[in-house]
Structures are given as structure tokens and as C-alpha cells.
Amino acid sequence: MFSCSSSSMAEEKDAFYVIKKGDVFGVYRSLSDVHRDVKGGHEIYKGYGLSREAESHLDSLGLKNAAYSISASDVNDSTFGKLFRFRPQQPSYGGTTSNRDPSPNRVHQELAHYMEHRTMTNQIAAQMMASNSQFCIVEFDGASKGNPGPAGAGAILRTEDGRVICRLCEGVGIATNNEAEYRAAILGMKYALQQGFKHIRVKGDSNLVCMQVKGLWKINSRNLVELNSEAMELKDMFISFHIDHIGREWNSEADALANRAVNLGNGQVQEYWAMQ
């Protein structure tokens, strides 16, 4: 698409492009991928030589495709190295560096701003989903490293046809696995209510939580009484509510979120809204 000198060809092979879409950063290896997925209206940044650490981090999040996507909350100043504002209407090479932004720190400031101030774009989209179909699915799981030990909660909100609305991680502090499971179910139910869903189906691999929320099992642990009470109050806020036990093999996404949340502070929530 653009002319470039032979001396810059090697550097161009290491180029990558970063585009922010809502609360997610897309990382692309070629301009053709950018033009395929990005319809305009997004600022494009260009960098060179994505570090092995950055690629390993992306891989650890399960992002192994040619076009990565990464939540803004996972981006820090060292993730992409130096980035430059990229203007497709101008030649990107010509033996000079006049089109490069001399102040890459400003780019990182913008990235930090995105981390601290999540835009409402995808939340509005989720609310539109809720208005179109008031039914949603919540998948939940909890994890505890020590039982009790550092714990985390993970939940996923999906539309009736299985599309992801958002993924959620919450730090639980020092807790048992059962406490983390309850916190995960509560987390998903709260977000479903916030998005306006009135009919809900909750799924998790904790038979204890499912049976106790159904009112079929006694609660023998004092630590679970308050959590069960909160879950029951949320349950009553829906017009219809179903909770079902599923096998662990069907709950791997929520499990990964729960394990990720173990490193968060108690009550700290990370939200990953589906890219629009």
C-alpha cells in the first residue's frame, strides 16, 4: 500500500498496530488485518518489535490468533513499548521519521487514561441487548489457593443465544472455595440486574451453591449464611430464576476468570466487555 525504502523493510516486518475499540485494545500484525476489522473512527498506533514478554502475556490470556485483543485493564506502560500515532493517509516511510510522534509518553498517558476511565460504549450495547431480550445466562466459578487461602470469583454474562456480554473477575481475599463460589454467583447476578435483565439462568460447577440457593440443602457453615442470604435476595429480584449444576468441563471459562481473580484485592472487580 505504501512505498518504503529497502533499508526499512526489515523494520517493517516487525511492525504491529494497536487500535482501541471500546474497552479493548486490538493488536494487529498487518494493515490488511486492520482494514478488515476496523471500519474507521478509531485512532491507530504503530509500534515495532512486540517483545517476547508481551507476546507471552497475550498468549497467557488465550489470545493466540493473528489479531489479538486485550482488555484495557491488562495494558501497562511496558506492554507495547514505544507507540507512534499512525496516519494511514500519509506514507509511513520515506527515509525520514517526520510522521512519528516525538512524545510517546503521551500515548502511554492515554493508555493509562483508558485503564482508569472505562468508556460506556459496551455497557450501552449490553443494555440494548437487555432491552431486546430480557433473558441472560450467568456462568460462575470460584477458586481458593489453600481453602482457605487467597481466593477469587469469576462470572460470565451471556445472551440467550450464547454470545458473551461481559466477563468478570473479583478478588475475594482470604476465603474458602465455597465462599468464593458464592461470591462468583452473586457477582454475576448483580451485573445481570444492573444491565436490566429480568429472567436469568445461572450455571456453576458448585453443587453446594446450586442446591443451597434452591433451598434444598441445609447451610452448616456460618460463613455461608450471610452469602446465601445475599444470593437469595438477588434471586427474588428477577421475574424468573433458575440455577443449575454443571460439570467442571463445561465451566472452564469461568474457572479461568476465578483463578485470575485470586491476584486481585478483596472486592476489586475487573470487567471485560465484549468487543463491539
What is the spatial distance between Cα 89 and Cα 251, in angstroms, rounded to a whole number?
46
Q: Could you give the strand order of the β-sheet that contains 68-71, starting from the edge strand earlier in sequence?
A: 68-71, 24-28, 15-21, 44-48, 84-86
CA 40 to chain centre: 23
Domain 121-273 bears CATH identifier 3.30.420.10 = yes
For residues 149 and 24, the model is more confident at: 149
Lowest mean pLDDT among 5-9, 28-32, 187-191: 5-9
Contact 85, 98 (CB under 8 A): no
Q: Could you give the strand order of the β-sheet that contains 199-204, starting from the edge strand earlier in sequence?
A: 240-245, 199-204, 135-144, 149-159, 164-175, 269-273
The single residue listed with the C-alpha cell 509511513 is 92
List, for residues 237-260, the tens digit of each pLDDT value.
999 999 999 999 999 999 999 999
Q: What is the dihedral of CA 124, 67, 152, 112, to 10 degrees?
A: -70
Backbone torsions φ then ψ of 70, nearest 5 degrees: -145, 140
Residue 204 has pLDDT above 70, yes or no: yes
Backbone torsions φ then ψ of 63, nearest 5 degrees: -100, 85
- Whole-number pLDDT of residue 108: 53
The single residue listed with the C-alpha cell 493509562 is 112
Contact 41, 56 (CB under 8 A): no
Assign 180 a pLDDT band (cuts: 50, 70, 90): very high
What is the spatial distance between Cα 25 and Cα 43, in angstroms, rounded to a whole number?
11
CA 232 to chain centre: 27
For residues 246 and 39, the model is more confident at: 246
List, for residues 138-176, the tens digit of each pLDDT value.
999 999 999 999 999 999 999 988 999 999 999 999 999
Contact 166, 157 (CB under 8 A): yes
Domain boundaries, the chain: 6-116, 121-273
Residue 70 has pLDDT above 60, yes or no: no
- Whole-number pLDDT of residue 71: 54
The answer for residues whose C-beta is within 8 angstroms of residue 244's C-beta and 6 or more apart is 201, 202, 203, 210
DSSP string, 213-251: HTT-S----HHHHHHHHHHHHHHTTSSEEEEEE--GGG-
Contact 227, 186 (CB under 8 A): yes
